[in-house]
Amino acid sequence: MPSIVKLSACAVFGLTLAGLSCATDLPGQPQPLPHISTLSAFQTGVYHFYDQNSSFFKLGKKAGSQYRLVSEFSKGTPRYFSYSMSKDWTVRNGVLQRPSVANVVRPVAGNKVNVIRQGQSSGLSVELKAYDVSDKSIASYLKLQNGKSTKLSDSVSSWTKFPTGSVAYVPTLTSLRTEVIVPEVNIFTGQKTVEGFVKAFSGKIPNCLRYEKRSGSQPYAIRFTNRKGNTGNIEIYEAKRGKVFCEVDGPKVANGSYKIQTINGTKVLTLNFPQHIDRRDIGIHSSENGALDLAFVEVKKPHPQVLPGRVLHAKRTFTDNQYRFNKVAADSIKNALK
């Protein structure tokens, strides 16, 4: 979905994702289709494209108050509804694990459904808002998590349009429980415990944070100070680009705080930054702002290590900046990508 750089009357909770449900913010200003509910969208089938990957979700047999979820995935595609938060590793009791693959859909109030693994409380609450994208540019609806165009969309002519009957869905997502997640596991921090991590970066050596590379981005480095028990402060510096090792660029620009706590049986170091620090510059997409906190996670298995991660809070709304589609729209996308 497109990056939203302004907040409108549609914005709630300070999240740009709410603006995505306003037709004027969508490519080509499509007409909303309020008669299409989230449940009916899943009944007819929901399609998803992520660069060269694709997936399909549809309701199967109903059993009591819930439906079996039928899903199909292209080879190498993460087997989850969202390619954003639910594609990451989760950590429980210090153990890295893939999120459970959802196989049940349960309708709930407010035009939402819960997409879950049977017998488990974890999963996503999903709301889909439908829009008529007939005669709109296909390429403009092929987006990555950061709102930028996918590589494959560049191969689709801007003149290639969706046919009549095409529907795009804007997803609004909420985690059903608080999760500790790790986007990437092949990152070396050199530490096995969060206490060791704090100690290692409390002196002259800073730790540089990952950031979203874009025009105007500003990478940051941090140092830990003033620890008292499980809390303390962080000093925030601008970081030099293009260095093999982390280096600060100039004097301290801000202060923040940290807290060591246990979430889902896992020791986690969560960081709190002042409001003027752009969340994209600490590795959190603007569409996820408010639902996630930056953290460092103490992993015990498969081997002890501290990894950069996130705390995904329950009942806080986010999106993955990507559209879903009905069959008519999906077939036209497949043809356009050939």
- pLDDT tens profile 294-309: 999 999 999 999 999 9
Q: E strand or H helix at 335, and its extent?
A: helix 327-337
Interatomic CA distance for residues 234 and 244, integer angstroms: 23
Residue 236 near residue 222, CB atoms below 8 Å: yes
Report pLDDT for 114.
96
Provide the 10 A C-beta neighbour count for residue 116. Answer: 21
Instruction: Note the pLDDT tens digit of each residue in 143-180.
Output: 877 777 887 788 888 889 999 999 999 999 999 999 99
Q: Say how many residues make up the chain.
A: 338
Task: Give the integer Cα–Cα distance in Å for 65 and 105.
Answer: 9
> Does 2 score more than 60 pLDDT?
no
Q: What's the pLDDT score for residue 285?
A: 84
289 pLDDT band, cuts 50/70/90, is: confident
Q: Report DSSP letters for 308-328, one per residue.
A: EEEEE-TT-EE--S--EE-HH
Q: Model-level pTM?
A: 0.86
At 216-237, the pLDDT tens digits run: 899 999 999 999 999 999 999 9
CA distance 116 to 20: 25
